[in-house]
Structure 1
Amino acid sequence: MVVLGSSAHFHATAPGLFVGIDLGTSGLRLVAVDGSGLAVATASQTWPVAASEQDPAQWLASLEKLWKPLIRELPGPVLAVSATSTSGTVLPTDCKGRPIASAWLYSDRRGSELGARFGIPAGWGLSRWLWWQLQGSTDCRLTHPSDYLLTALGAKVGWTDHTCALKSGYDPAAGKWSLALAAGVPAAQLPAVVRPGTVVGTLAPEWGLGSGVKLVAGCTDGVAGQIASGALAVGQVCLSLGSTLIFKGVSEAKIASADGAVYSHLHPDGRLWLPGAASACGGAILEKFYPREQWEELNGCAEALNRPTGQTAYPLATPGERFPRSGADFAGGLPDVPTEDPHFYAGLLEGVAFVERLGLERLMALGMPVQGALLCVGGGTHSEVWLRIRAAVLGRELQLPAQVQPALGAAILAAAGVWGVGVAQAAARMVRLDRQILPDAALAAAYEAVYRRFLERWGGAG
């Protein structure tokens, strides 16, 4: 499915536009924004995901299909382009940047046993690259999807950014491919590493935008989403609540947990770190019990209840959790009322908020600073009652950015490359807030006792 669109207004004060490309598992999205972050045109295409590998030619064909209609809509010149893609996905390319095999998604488990010998998680691209070594091809280079697309657009060959490189065996603290080399990957197969926002070439003429359009190194989609949220200063936190719950922060020191559930990307500007973690708890539990078309009515019922409900659920759609609890068989627990009772639905909303608070407290215990309002993104922000519950349980103001797609994060990187400024500085100019949710003091006080009972029930580490 292809979707095209444009905004009704263009910020005339912006001298040029920036294009961000987001290559996801199930589709491609393009956005063109002006220097204030206002989107002036978008284009997207989706495709079914039937396997754990994909043909890079499909990505390029989709980009070509969306590119011409998008640039026809643009009300001004494009200054730069950048791209983002999924973390942990890799593909082999030749010396000219052309694919020589399929791309292996982060969900592919080839090489997981090989990787385990070196302590490499199965979801890391390095595990699949070790498997590729056994297939007999040595004349190749490890490449990430965003690198491939930018190279196809005209960027030089043989580079990657430090966020994509992390799960391919790069140590951003040391600035070396330490883990990849220790696992036996030949140095000749490993690209040079640059910071996101680094200019890596110019757009080729055949893409129809003339000369001088800069191509700028991108990052993983997770980091791009954080850039788009504006959470790039020490103490800022972005909470993404969709099917799962993702925590992203900013710290001066690298933060990690012994089990790997918490790890840190190097900040796009260097010096700082972006600690993060992910919980399996989230909106998926709502889909398990209720069709989406009922959610608006259920939210209304939950709004009408006296809250707190008193429930202390740790709601998981399926067994298995990594953070803030840990255990492959950990199944959590549901509200102890019938599913048709409005207190069950409201108890699920509260349970996710309790897990969210527990996650923040665990990250703070590891040394991650949390200061001021929390930036909230994801599908969970569409529920007003859930936002109020979360604000009360967390005891903090929630701020909702106007748009948080990874494609916007890529566009911000493009702008940083052209302006010659840090990514945080570019984001400060281009990220817009939609609204704020203040915690209700009385409700926050009422939730304290319930949260203490939640901790007594679920606060253990295992």
Structure 2
Amino acid sequence: MSTWMGVDLGTQSVRALLVTADGEVVGMGSRPLTGHRDGPRHEQDPEQWWNAVALACRQAAAGRSDIEGVAVDATSGTVLLTDDDGRPLSPALMYDDTRAAAEVEAINDRGAAVWAELGYRRMQASWALPKAHWLLRHHGHGRVTHQSDFVNRRLTGHEVATDLSNALKTGAHLIGERWPYEALGLPDDVLPDLVRSGTPLGVVCERAAEATGIPAGTPVIAGMTDGCAAQLGAGGIEPGSWNSVLGTTLVIKGVTRDLLHDPLGAVYSHRSPTGAWLPGGASSTGSGVIARDFADPDRLSGAVAFTDVLAYPLLGTGERFPFVAQEAEAFMIGEPRDEAEHFAAVLQGVGFVERLCFDYLDLLGAPDGGRLTLTGGAARNHYWCRLRADILDRPVTLLENAEPALGMAILAAGEHGGTMVRVRQTLDPTGAGRFDEPYLRLVEALHERGWLPAALAAHAEERTSR
């Protein structure tokens, strides 16, 4: 029996899955990760990544000799500097580290034409290219290395190319599949070569085999960012299919044949292993609000099936998708009678933001006639999944096992990975339009506050009336 190893290198932990061609998980392992936060700074020790990956893989492999490939995903925009032998010269600046804010204006001025061509129009302080400039300015020298590059080099024992997915926020030209050096403003010799996700990078070396338990000679496959890996793990490979990941925040990713161009810069597109495009965006709403404000969500689920109280739930200040408004704040219209109605209003509010995300994607010309899967921690709450189906007024699919590590096992398996995704249940909508009116009231409230563009507000109303 052949198996494939998928490794998810996240923020708080490493998770490894060993999966058969029909999707059976025959081995799993995990190890925690720690970091250091200080205001806009968020660092981790790269050596900790390798130690955690090695232990998680050894636990998942459990001495098996039938592993046919391994692929690793990583957090998007996480970078460090290494020397020519792959040793760290700096701490790793994590995906949400924004210390490089002062670098952004010059980067966006220099690369404006390229960023516009690629659809996202401007970079943000948390992206990898500003952080690469900051690192080189403060450390003086070194090779720009993505989180996945660091681990893949340890696996193979030699220098490796980086995948287009992890290189997006470093400014890779995803259409030409090259580095646009003039726009980047970096020396030519500090960046790795570029390959598509799914490309073989080498094989597991003897030293890595001893550390990980993965047999020496096992192919190492170029991975993706963790968000794209989760989409692949959800079976999102056909144009028009979408995956809505509701965890602490809400992240929506899909598949399109053509590159989307977003005038707001809220949506940006990765490149899939097949050459299709993977557009997506991340909202600042999500189930993190639930964890913060309610001690016993399971007890409250379904206690109030519908409420006229409107909630726009945010974890903090600022919204990134489906509109961009740094000044956006959470609000509530109406007074809940009790905790149960407050809870219902928050659940509905997250669902309304999710619906607005799909209205915006439709406005940009994205197809959405394919399967919609719901993943993330909130997908374990059956009531909320059914509520979201009713608010979206479309069927939603729940999976037996959808996570980034599974996506990497699928990628490592190549043509053998198509049957690894297992559907648990499909929920059909039963709302019969009862959420249309409160949804449009929330859209109007967002527009009146000056956060939601008029074109999107009008499109949401027009699409609801179809």
Q: Shorter-chain TM-score category?
A: 0.7 to 0.9
Any conservation in 1 of the 2:6–2:405 contact (CA below 8 Å)?
A: yes
Deviation by residue 1:390-439 (Cα, 9 ceiling, x = unmatched) = 111111000012212111111111111xxxx4xxxx55321111111111
Report what 2:137 is aligned to.
134
2:297 partner SS? helix
Once residues 370 and 198 of structure 2 are traced to their aligned partners in structure 1, the CA distance between those partners, rounded to angstroms, is 27
Deviation by residue 1:352-378 (Cα, 9 ceiling, x = unmatched) = 111111110011100111014311101
Report what 2:164 is aligned to.
162
Relative distance call for 1:394 and 1:85 in structure 2 (3 A) is same
Query: Which residue identity is paired with 2:301?
Result: N
- Which residue of 440, 449, 453 maps to 1:461? 453
Report what 1:107 is aligned to.
96
Once residues 184 and 339 of structure 1 are traced to their aligned partners in structure 2, the CA distance between those partners, rounded to angstroms, is 57
Any conservation in 2 of the 1:181–1:187 contact (CA below 8 Å)?
A: no
Report what 2:191 is aligned to.
190
Once residues 142 and 269 of structure 1 are traced to their aligned partners in structure 2, the CA distance between those partners, rounded to angstroms, is 26
- Which residue of 315, 321, 336 maps to 1:317? 315
Identity of aligned residues (%): 34
Q: Please, which moves more after superposition, 320-329 or 61-70?
A: 61-70
Once residues 130 and 231 of structure 1 are traced to their aligned partners in structure 2, the CA distance between those partners, rounded to angstroms, is 34
Cα offset for 1:66?
3.1
Q: Please, which moves more after superposition, 162-171 or 91-100?
A: 91-100
Report what 2:301 is aligned to.
299
Once residues 80 and 30 of structure 1 are traced to their aligned partners in structure 2, the CA distance between those partners, rounded to angstroms, is 13
Query: Which residue identity is paired with 2:35?
Result: V
CA RMSD of aligned residues (A): 1.9
Once residues 80 and 34 of structure 2 are traced to their aligned partners in structure 1, the CA distance between those partners, rounded to angstroms, is 20
Query: Which residue identity is paired with 2:338?
Result: E
- Which residue of 87, 90, 95 maps to 2:76? 87
Cα offset for 1:314?
1.7
Report what 1:231 is aligned to.
236
1:258 partner SS? coil
Relative distance call for 1:240 and 1:322 in structure 2 (3 A) is same
Once residues 7 and 130 of structure 2 are traced to their aligned partners in structure 1, the CA distance between those partners, rounded to angstroms, is 26
2:264 pairs with 1:259: yes
Report what 2:13 is aligned to.
27
Any conservation in 2 of the 1:91–1:103 contact (CA below 8 Å)?
A: yes
Report what 2:464 is aligned to.
none
Relative distance call for 1:335 and 1:444 in structure 2 (3 A) is farther
Any conservation in 1 of the 2:69–2:221 contact (CA below 8 Å)?
A: yes
Cα offset for 1:211?
4.2
Q: Please, which moves more after superposition, 251-260 or 431-440?
A: 251-260
Deviation by residue 1:205-228 (Cα, 9 ceiling, x = unmatched) = 231444431111111111101100
Any conservation in 1 of the 2:152–2:160 contact (CA below 8 Å)?
A: no
Any conservation in 1 of the 2:33–2:52 contact (CA below 8 Å)?
A: no
Report what 1:97 is aligned to.
86
Once residues 288 and 461 of structure 1 are traced to their aligned partners in structure 2, the CA distance between those partners, rounded to angstroms, is 29
Tell me the TM-score normalized by structure 1. Answer: 0.88
Once residues 78 and 332 of structure 2 are traced to their aligned partners in structure 1, the CA distance between those partners, rounded to angstroms, is 34
Alignment gaps of 5+ in structure 2: 109-122, 455-466
Once residues 356 and 2 of structure 2 are traced to their aligned partners in structure 1, the CA distance between those partners, rounded to angstroms, is 44
Relative distance call for 1:66 and 1:283 in structure 2 (3 A) is closer
After TM superposition, the structure 1 = structure 2 runs for residues 235-246 of structure 1, keeping only pairs within 5 Å, are 235-246=240-251
Cα offset for 1:278?
1.1
Cα offset for 1:341?
4.1
Aligned length: 428
Query: Which residue identity is paired with 1:54?
Result: Q
Any conservation in 2 of the 1:372–1:396 contact (CA below 8 Å)?
A: no
Query: Which residue identity is paired with 2:444?
Result: E
Query: Which residue identity is paired with 1:248?
Result: K
2:65 pairs with 1:57: no
Query: Which residue identity is paired with 2:135?
Result: W
Relative distance call for 1:259 and 1:406 in structure 2 (3 A) is same
Once residues 398 and 363 of structure 2 are traced to their aligned partners in structure 1, the CA distance between those partners, rounded to angstroms, is 26
Query: Which residue identity is paired with 2:132?
Result: W
2:152 pairs with 1:150: yes
Query: Which residue identity is paired with 1:380?
Result: A
2:288 pairs with 1:284: yes
Cα offset for 1:332?
3.7
Query: Which residue identity is paired with 1:311?
Result: V
1:260 partner SS? coil
Any conservation in 1 of the 2:9–2:75 contact (CA below 8 Å)?
A: yes
Query: Which residue identity is paired with 2:352?
Result: F
Deviation by residue 1:244-279 (Cα, 9 ceiling, x = unmatched) = 111111111111322321111111221x11110111
Alignment gaps of 5+ in structure 1: 1-14
Cα offset for 1:73?
5.5
Cα offset for 1:449?
2.5
Cα offset for 1:160?
0.2
Once residues 21 and 438 of structure 2 are traced to their aligned partners in structure 1, the CA distance between those partners, rounded to angstroms, is 46
- Which residue of 95, 117, 122 maps to 2:125? 122
Report what 2:434 is aligned to.
446
1:60 partner SS? helix
Tell me the TM-score normalized by structure 2. Answer: 0.87
